[in-house]
Amino acid sequence: MGVTKEQVESSLTAKLNPSHLEVIDMSAGCGAKFLVVIVTEQFEGKRLLERHRMVNGALAEEMKEIHALSITKALTPEQWKQQQESEKSQAAA
Amino acid sequence: LHAYVALDPNLKATLDKVVTSQKIVLFMKGTKDFPQCGFSHTVVQILKSLDAPFETINILENEALRQGLKEYSSWPTFPQLYVDGEFFGGCDITVEAYKSGELQELLERTLCS
């Protein structure tokens, strides 16, 4: 029962071709609650709502069993690079 | 197996009315005063902190509404926030927009119009 972290990763990888992907199972193994950080060129020129719709769409099958999905970051590679750099400079400061 | 049926025209007409009944409508688990899910609670807190007048509808009390809304907004989860009759987003989008100030701007614009 439930959805595995690997299933979520493979669906997102197959459909959105991410350059960076983190899937965290927040459900302590029951497969009902996930946290997603995803970076892909396919988000280029799309508003946040559209980006989240793309993620939800890629996980349409899994969503039937997932109880809670938190898309904490849905970024383009350019935005991701900027965030990484600003985090680094903040850490250094 | 879950069978999806097309959104019933009567239900769609009802939803059209409900989402435009107030400038800000939140479909959530529980009520404004007793949210029954952390995600719903978060959005309620954000709207309260912005002093925005909003209507909440408890989708736990109406299964047809709950299923209908998922198709109506093409969004699989709750809460669902509507601003000025338009689907704005779920919890994560609302949190992001709140942090960036975009939500406050939108709500001010909407409430003044």
pLDDT tens digits, residue range B11-40?
889 999 999 999 999 999 999 999 999 999
Tell me the shortest Cα–Cα distance from A18 to chain B, in angstroms: 20
Query: Taking the model in full, what pTM does it have?
Result: 0.84
Three-state DSSP class for residue B21 = coil
pLDDT at residue number B1? 39
Q: Average pLDDT in the A16-37 region?
A: 87
Q: pLDDT tens across A51-83, in order?
A: 999 999 999 999 888 888 999 999 999 999 999
User: What angle, 0 to 180 degrees and rounded to 10, lies between the N-to-C axes of helices B38-49 and B91-100?
Assistant: 30
Q: How many CA atoms lie within 13 A of B10 on its CB side?
A: 1
Q: How far apart are CA B22 and CA B83, in angstroms?
A: 8
Tell me the shortest Cα–Cα distance from B73 to chain A, in angstroms: 10
pLDDT at B2 over 50: no
Q: Average pLDDT in the B67-92 region?
A: 93
The structure tokens 């849905």 sit at A74
Q: How far apart are CA A25 and CA A8, in angstroms?
A: 10
Q: Is B19 on the interface with A (CB under 8 A)?
A: no
CA nearest neighbour of B72 among B1, B102, B64: B64
Q: pLDDT tens across A29-50, in order?
A: 565 889 999 999 999 999 999 9
Q: Is B97 exposed, middle or buried (0-12, 13-18, 19+ CB in 10 A)?
A: buried
User: What angle, 0 to 180 degrees and rounded to 10, lies between the N-to-C axes of helices B91-100 and B102-112?
Assistant: 90
Tell me the shortest Cα–Cα distance from B19 to chain A, in angstroms: 18
pLDDT at B47 over 60: yes
pLDDT band at B4 (very low <50, low <70, confident <90, very high): low
Q: How far apart are CA A43 and CA A46, in angstroms?
A: 5
Which of the residues B70, B92, B102, B106 would you substitute to probe the A interface, choosing the one with the greatest number of A C-beta atoms within 10 Å? B92
Which of the residues B37, B77, B86, B87 would you substitute to probe the A interface, choosing the one with the greatest number of A C-beta atoms within 10 Å? B77
Start-to-end C-alpha separation, chain A: 47
Start-to-end C-alpha separation, chain B: 45
Higher pLDDT, residue A33 or B94: B94
Q: Average pLDDT in the B74-96 region?
A: 94
- Which residues, other chains included, contact B87 with Cβ-Cβ below 8 Å and sequence gap of 6+? A49, B19, B73, B75, B80, B81
Q: How far apart are CA B95 and CA B39, in angstroms?
A: 10
